[in-house]
Structure 1
Amino acid sequence: MVMTVFTPDVALALESETVEIKRRVGIMGGTFNPIHNGHLIMAEQVRSQLGLDEILFIPNNIPPHIDTKTAIDGTTRAKLIELAIEDNSDFNLERIELIKGGVSYSIDTIAELKRQHPDTEYYFIIGADEVAYLPKWYRIDELITMVTFVAIKRVGFTQTSEYPVIWIDTPIVEISSTDVRQRIEQQRSIRYLVPLKVADYIVKNGLYQDDKH
């Protein structure tokens, strides 16, 4: 009888082939009222630098903030996201929080995503200004066991947290949804602040024409 003997290197290689490789997916959550180029730059830089398979954009239904702000309806915000990302096959829209309705808690969303996709590891992307608020997030001690937080470095914000956070360098782009809305209301240009298709849709549908949103 002929016995096959593998060298340690070959044996290790064969063993590694049986190990399940999980998909690695980034999450960009928020109101996206509206989505702008700063969101897209952050998402692409995280995807590239961490080698993620995909970025999911998840618009919330009702944000869990005490000072809740009024946003246009979720269907329209989702449409703007679709227009913004349709040319990037690594970006996708996830409507899970809009479908669920009610207040959108990250832990509920992540729990449901992990239930649907147990073979996926999730990376939750936040801004440097949000890191200091992590202790106030709903059920944060459970949430940090379910996702890896990725924060975008920003001048003036310390890179420390009591929770594990991966810090990422990206070009500093000072664009905010609030500023975009104000410019629209004041009939000022938003060209190059949001994707062209998003700007066209906003104009054609008369979105953000007053200060109520």
Structure 2
Amino acid sequence: MKKKVGLLGGTFNPPHLGHLLLAEQVLERAQLDEIRFLPNRVPPHKQVDERVSVEQRLFMLKEAIKDNPKFSIEMIELEREGPSYTYETIKCLTQKEKNIDFSFIIGGDMIEYLPKWFRIDELQTMVRFIGVNRPSYSQVSPYDVKMIKIPTIEISSSFIRESIQKGQSIRYLVPDNVYRFIKEEKLYE
């Protein structure tokens, strides 16, 4: 029987409790064996805050997930240059790890965006999509997406970055060790 692995992509700039909640809930509700966080170098659909290095983002992500043995980091998108297209990532992973049944986890915002994804029709044949509810976004898609209802908390990395820039607290929005690292390194100020 193939191992079932969920992939959760993002910039994780910074990783926050919403990411961890989503990963834990999908792990259990979709009956996956593990979740791999998939940090991207250059997402094709948005800009990355250049003030924080890839190494700093990776360090924060490692700190955020270190207490969960079913969470790990998939480095494939950080190891290559250029935009991180999911199609290319999944193609490489499925060729390299034939004994794994991969699922790609997406939020409501990405469900709406699926028709614009690079080579989405081919991608749909290579990986199963797991969608999670996100308030104010449609869950309707012309593509096959297995929907999972999870508790939602409205936290985003952009909200955290904006809060820091305004001098507002981000405590309890990110794991404690990530909070300390952001404060020590004066990230996003």
TM-score range, shorter chain: over 0.9
Among residues 1, 22, 44, which one is paired with 1:42 in the alignment?
22
Q: 1:156 to 1:208 in 2, by over 3 A?
A: closer
Q: Pairwise mapping of residues 1-213 of structure 1 onto structure 2 (< 5 A)?
A: 21-65=1-45, 67-71=46-50, 72-209=52-189
Once residues 47 and 156 of structure 1 are traced to their aligned partners in structure 2, the CA distance between those partners, rounded to angstroms, is 24
Q: Which runs of 5+ in 1 are unaligned?
A: 1-20
Distance in 2 separating the partners of 1:156 and 1:175: 14
Alignment check: 8 A CA contact 1:128 1:153 kept? yes
Percent sequence identity over aligned pairs:
46
- Cα distance in structure 2, aligned partners of 1:69 and 1:164: 29
- Displacement of 1:68: 2.6
Deviation at 1:48? 0.3
Structure with larger Rg: 1
| Superposed displacement of residue 157, structure 1 | 2.9
TM-score (norm 1): 0.85
Point out where structure 2 has 5 or more consecutive residues left out of the alignment: none
Deviations 1:22-81 (A, max 9, x none): 01000010111111000110111000001101100011011112x534342211111110
TM value normalised by structure 2: 0.95
What is the SS of the residue equivalent to 2:79? helix
The residue aligned with 1:5 is none
Conserved in 2, the CA contact under 8 Å of 1:78 and 1:95? no
Instruction: For residue 149 of structure 1, report the CA deviation from its aligned partner.
Output: 0.6
| Distance in 2 (alpha carbons) for counterparts of 1:168 and 1:182 | 29
Other structure's SS at 1:107 match: helix
Question: What's the CA shift for 1:112?
Answer: 1.1
Q: CA RMSD in A?
A: 1.1
Describe the shift of the 1:196–1:124 C-alpha distance in structure 2 as closer, same or farther (beyond 3 A): same
SS of corresponding position for 2:129: strand
Structure 1 segments of 4+ aligned residues over 4 angstroms from their partners? none
Give the partner amino acid of 1:107. Y
**Distance of 2:101 and 2:162 partners within structure 1:** 37
* SS of structure 2 residue aligned to 1:151: strand
Give the secondary-structure state (helix, strand or coil) at the position aligned to 2:140: coil
